Amino acid sequence: MSTHSPMMTVRLRESTVALLMTLREGDGETLDAVIARLACAATALRPPAVAAPPVAVAPVPSPRSPPSDVGKYALVMLGETIHAATLGELFADVVDTLVRIDPGSIERLATMRARKRFYVARDKAVIHPGRPDLAVRRTASGWWVSDNVGTADIERALRAACEASGLAYGRDVRFEGRSGRK
């Protein structure tokens, strides 16, 4: 018999995720663990006979407004599917999302590097040291990322981003590869 409950996707506002990230008791605590801890504490405080009425919540808008019809690649991040025309654009969208929900995670990611390059940097020359000929991309949040990436590179970068943010690769962030869109 399994000791784990089945996983499900729940849509949360970015501001809610950001708040939950600030409530983590350590870098290794997942958002699932934070929510479970808070739910246990709230249950202990509530008298057993009192049940809270359901609260109507407005639909959560997609992180991309309007959603892009162009997107050769896709990933699912915190329940939202992100499409992009290139792998560099896809990682730039991940960086911008992390900046909104946990700015400190990008600062941590900026100290991490793949074999020869950094995943993100404030200075574009730092991304590909000694290789100004390789393409870079500036994210909407002002960070630089490589635009010269393949599938193995993006998966490595996504794993590093998850490590820096306390998210779980494969659960909170899942690279879908080619999306079937053009």
Determine the pLDDT at residue 26. 77
AA identity, residue 132: P
**What's the total number of domains in the chain?**
1
In angstroms, the CA 161 to CA 173 distance is 9
State pTM to two decimals: 0.63
Phi, psi dihedrals of residue 171, rounded to the nearest 5°: -115, -60
- Distance, in Å, from the CA atom of 148 to the CA atom of 89, rounded to the nearest integer, reads 10
pLDDT tens-digit profile of 117-154? 899 999 999 999 889 999 999 999 999 999 999 999 99
Tell me the pLDDT tens digit for each residue of 57-111: 444 444 444 344 457 899 999 888 999 999 999 999 999 999 998 889 999 999 9
Exposure string (b/e) for 17-50, b if CB count within 10 Å is 16 or more? Answer: beebbeebeeeeeebeebeeeeeeeeeeeeeeee
Q: What is the pLDDT of residue 29?
A: 76
Residue 24's domain is classified under what CATH number? 1.20.1380.10
Q: Which residues contact 157 (CB under 8 A, 6 or more apart)?
A: 91, 114, 119, 145, 149
pLDDT at residue number 63: 45
Name the amino acid, one letter, at 44: A
pLDDT tens, residue by residue, 151-179: 999 999 999 999 999 999 999 999 988 86
Q: Which amino acid is at 98?
A: L
Provide the domain limits for residue 58.
1-182
Average pLDDT, the chain: 80
Let me know: does 148 contact 133? Beta carbons within 8 Å: no
Query: Residue holding tokens 């246990």?
Result: 40
